[in-house]
Amino acid sequence: MNTNVMVGIVQEVTVWLAAATDAVAVALIGLAVVEAVVRKLALVWRRRGGAPSPGPHDLIEDTRLRLARSLALALEFLLAADIMRTAVAPTWHEIGQLAAIAALRTALNFFIQREIDGAAARRTP
């Protein structure tokens, strides 16, 4: 098989994998948002019904942290997709964009993880 044909196949597969990885990230974010909304609505519903809720602040924080974990995971998938796309035919412009995106997503993940760790420290006596 010709080398150019093999390179073309690898590039095509990489583009498809990047698109699939983007789709996974979007699905993770969508599911996390739906879950957070459902959990918040359930909390509001319990409050309106006068039912005692076990630590509403804890339930809200738990919902936030679950959403944060999902967002952090989705950011990792999005970064992976960007790396795959850049690996196909990198130009200096694309490499610069990837570096900027990677820095921003890494910073976001750092702060999300710091929030998660802080919440875990508050929960342990």
Per-residue pLDDT of the chain (125 residues; tens, 9 = 90+): 688 888 888 889 999 999 999 999 999 999 999 999 999 888 888 777 666 655 666 778 888 889 999 999 999 999 999 999 888 878 889 889 889 988 998 899 899 889 888 887 887 76
Mean confidence (pLDDT) of the chain = 87
Q: Give whole-number Cα distances, 37 to 24, 43, 68, 99, in Å.
A: 20, 10, 14, 33
Task: Region of 90 please: left (phi>0), alpha (psi -120 to 50) or beta.
Answer: beta
The answer to whether 25 and 81 are in contact (CB under 8 A) is yes
| Closest CA relative to residue 60, chosen from 75, 42, 74, 34 | 42
Give the pLDDT confidence score for residue 8 in this predicted structure: 85
Give the pLDDT confidence score for residue 50 in this predicted structure: 65
The H-assigned helical ranges of the chain are 3-48, 56-88, 92-123
Task: Name 58's Cβ contacts closer than 8 Å, sequence gap at least 6.
Answer: none
What is the model's pTM? 0.79
